[in-house]
């Protein structure tokens, strides 16, 4: 402090650096001459303003999120300390003065300031509801020593139950096919925290009648809330299968073909076709499959005729909603015997020489299936070279003739599944062959002159019989 001016006539007090200790009452006293009391001026009051500390909300940092579950109450205590005078505290809701509550405000002397500094405390009591979720409450502190107010804020995070969940992306009228990509979005409106889940799947026929359930859970719910959809997936049959055609049938026999579709939704309808024309048959029989689709079965009764070797039958299954079709064709074969076989390469009774080459061909025309041919010699089977064409079976037998082939019975048998007994053709060979040996036999072997001797000429077998000529000393006789 400086006292300025002429001390005899005036005294001015100048405080150059104001401190809190300068906050006091000041008087000017003039000391009179002896015998006169001093003169004292009226008191002058110097108030020193001290800016308080920035406001704080007990237990929370600026910008903190306060989680509360109704009907739980929230008490917000805002403090601004060591101010002179005490700070002025007010509350804002979403930046606007909070008019619907009267906070308590307490001003108290700061215990460490010789009674000159004051603390301001304001308490705001709240009973938050779900509408208060996300609301920002601000404590605003103003003071004459500050050019601008200071604030501190918190945000309420009010927990409350969501609405029942709702599944979007599928309704009962939605058409879903296999291999479609389906996105199901489950959302629950409102609620804190929000609940939403999304699932994307490529639909297969195994998803038909599948139940997709969405559960909404929250810390404020005792039990989850649920929603569900049951998918209806349309799919065509992947295949058809035909049974009953595996074995050939005899001419005139009846046969039942059975066509079974693969799983389909809705059920497939079946038709039979042959020669490009639809055949009238039984009604479809529909049964449920394990995963909610349907299997269709239809039978076809036919009577086979021998006019043709085989007949093609087509079973066609169609999913009418998807316009998708699958089919299968099978061939039904009619059994009938071949014609009686014929043998070529040798005419009955013709003469053929031993050691010559003879080729015998056996042919059997027609038959379904074609005939199986087998050669026999005197009842013993022989190997042959076999062949087939479109309608003829053949078997060729190559023989180097021997004398044992003379009179031998060569037989060709033709068989198939329609012949109860083999069909036969045969040839008996006439093979010419010379005798192997010639012997001359004298009886008796030793004779005296004048004895009678019987001389015989004997040949081995031959065909035809051998002609015998006698010679004596190189001269024919007899």
Mean pLDDT of 155-175: 85
Mean pLDDT of 269-293: 89
How does pLDDT run across 394-411, given as a tens digit for each residue? 999 999 999 999 999 999
pLDDT number for residue 312: 92
Q: Per the structure block, which two tokens stand in for 192?
A: 């804190």
Q: How far apart are CA 378 and CA 290, in angstroms?
A: 65
Residue 51 lies in a domain: no
Highest mean pLDDT: which range of 36-50, 175-189, 192-206: 175-189
> Has residue 206 got a pLDDT over 80?
no
Question: Residue 257 belongs to what domain range?
Answer: 240-335
Name the domain boundary from 316, 335, 354: 335
- Residue 313 has φ and ψ, to the nearest 5°, of -125, 135
How far apart are alpha carbons 86 and 418 in whole angstroms? 123
Residues 387, 393, 398, CA angle at the centre, nearest 5°? 55
Is the pLDDT at 201 greater than 60, yes or no? yes
Residues 66 and 152 in one domain: yes
* Whether residue 369 sits in one domain with residue 303: no
If asked whether residues 331 and 385 sit together in one domain, one would say: no
Same domain, 309 and 264: yes
Q: How far apart are CA 279 and CA 159, in angstroms?
A: 70
Worst-scoring range by mean pLDDT, 129-138, 162-171, 443-452? 162-171
| 418 closest CA partner among 364, 369, 372 | 369
Listed residues 313, 335, 357: the one ending a domain: 335
d(CA 3, CA 85): 28
Higher pLDDT, 192 or 175: 175
- For residues 393 and 321, state if they share a domain: no
Instruction: Convert the pLDDT of each residue in 21-48 to its tens digit.
Output: 667 778 787 776 677 787 777 787 677 7
Q: 478: Cβ–Cβ under 8 A, 6 or more apart, which residues?
A: 469, 470
User: Do 347 and 416 belong together in one domain?
Assistant: yes
pTM above 0.85, yes or no: no
Within a domain: residue 176? Answer: yes
- Is the backbone peptide bond immediately before 267 cis, with ω within 30 degrees of 0? no
Task: Please give the tally of structural domains in the chain.
Answer: 6
Average of per-residue pLDDT values in the chain: 86
Find the range with the poorest average confidence among 210-219, 242-251, 417-426: 210-219
Residues 292-348: tens digit of each pLDDT: 789 999 999 988 776 677 889 999 999 999 899 999 999 988 888 999 999 999 999
Indicate whether 4 pLDDT > 70: no
> Measuring CA to CA, which residue among 461, 396, 467 is closest to residue 432?
461
Which of the two residues, 48 and 417, has the higher pLDDT score? Answer: 417
C-alpha span between 212 and 234 (Å, rounded): 17
Instruction: Quote the Cα angle for 207-210-211, to 5°.
Output: 145
Q: Residue 130 gets which letter from DSSP?
A: G
Least-confidence region, from 4-13, 84-93, 346-355, 425-434: 4-13
pLDDT value for 429: 95
Same-domain status, 23 and 77: no
Contact 397, 359 (CB under 8 A): yes
- Residue 7's pLDDT band, with cuts at 50, 70 and 90, is low
With 80 as the cut, is the pLDDT of residue 145 above it?
A: yes
Compare 65 and 194 and report the one with higher pLDDT: 65
Q: Taking every pair of C-alpha atoms in the chain, what is the biggest distance, in angstroms?
A: 235
Q: Give the residue with greater pLDDT, 223 vs 77.
A: 77
* pLDDT at 380 exceeding the cut of 80: yes
Same domain, 280 and 329: yes
Greater confidence, 208 or 125?
Answer: 125
354 pLDDT band (50/70/90 cuts)? very high
**Chain centre distance of CA 354:** 77
pLDDT at 200 over 90: no
Residues 94 and 139 in one domain: yes
Token output for 104: 């308590």
- Summarize the confidence of residues 128-156 as an average pLDDT: 93
How far is 249 from 332, CA to CA, in rounded Å?
8
Residues 349 and 316 placed together within one structural domain of the fold: no
**CATH assignment at residue 379:** 2.60.40.10
Encoded tokens for 453: 């001797």
Last residue of a domain, one of 128, 158, 188: 158
Using CB atoms within 10 A of its CB, is residue 154 exposed (0-12), middle (13-18) or buried (19+)? buried
């Amino acid at each position: 402090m400086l006292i300025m001016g002429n001390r005899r006539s005036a005294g001015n007090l100048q405080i150059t650096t104001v401190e809190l200790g300068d906050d006091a009452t000041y008087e000017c006293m003039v000391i009179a001459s002896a015998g006169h009391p001093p003169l004292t001026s009226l008191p002058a009051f110097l108030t020193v303003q001290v800016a308080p500390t920035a406001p704080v909300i007990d237990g929370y940092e600026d910008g903190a999120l306060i989680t509360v579950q109704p009907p739980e109450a929230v008490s917000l205590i805002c403090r601004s300390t060591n101010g002179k005078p005490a700070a002025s505290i007010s509350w804002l809701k979403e930046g606007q003065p909070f008019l619907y509550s009267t906070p308590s405000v307490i001003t108290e002397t700061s215990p460490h300031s010789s009674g000159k500094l004051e603390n301001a405390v304001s308490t705001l009591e709240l009973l938050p509801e779900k509408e208060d979720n996300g609301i920002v409450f601000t404590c605003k502190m103003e003071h004459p020593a500050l050019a601008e107010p200071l604030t501190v804020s918190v945000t309420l995070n009010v927990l409350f139950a969501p609405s029942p969940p709702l599944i979007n992306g599928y309704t009962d009228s939605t058409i879903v096919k296999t291999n479609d990509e389906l996105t199901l979005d489950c959302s629950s409106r409102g609620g804190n925290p929000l609940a939403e889940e999304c699932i994307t799947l490529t639909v297969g026929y195994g998803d038909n009648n599948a139940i997709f359930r969405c559960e909404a859970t929250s810390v404020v719910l005792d039990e989850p809330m649920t929603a569900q959809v049951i998918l209806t997936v349309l799919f065509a049959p992947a295949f058809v299968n035909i049974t009953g055609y595996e074995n050939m049938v005899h001419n005139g026999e009846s046969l039942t073909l059975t066509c079974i579709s693969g799983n389909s939704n809705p059920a497939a309808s079946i038709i039979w076709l042959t020669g490009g024309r639809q055949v009238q048959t039984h009604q479809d029989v529909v049964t449920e499959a394990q995963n909610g689709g349907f299997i269709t079965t239809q039978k076809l009764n036919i009577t086979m005729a021998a006019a043709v070797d085989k007949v093609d039958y087509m079973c066609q299954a169609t999913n009418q909603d998807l316009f998708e079709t699958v089919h299968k064709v099978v061939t039904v074969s009619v059994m009938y015997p071949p014609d009686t076989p014929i043998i070529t390469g040798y005419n009955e009774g013709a003469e053929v020489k031993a050691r010559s080459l003879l080729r015998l061909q056996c042919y059997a025309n027609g038959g379904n299936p074609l005939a199986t041919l087998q050669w026999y010699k005197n009842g013993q089977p022989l190997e042959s070279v076999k062949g087939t064409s479109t309608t003829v079976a053949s078997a060729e037998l190559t023989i180097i003739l021997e004398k044992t082939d003379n009179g031998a019975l060569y037989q060709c048998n033709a068989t198939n599944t329609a012949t109860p007994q083999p069909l036969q053709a045969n040839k008996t060979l006439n093979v010419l062959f010379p005798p192997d040996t010639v012997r001359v036999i004298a009886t008796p072997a030793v004779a005296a002159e004048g004895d009678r001797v019987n001389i015989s000429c004997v040949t081995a077998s031959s065909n035809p019989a051998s002609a015998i000529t006698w010679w004596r000393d190189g001269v024919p006789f007899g």
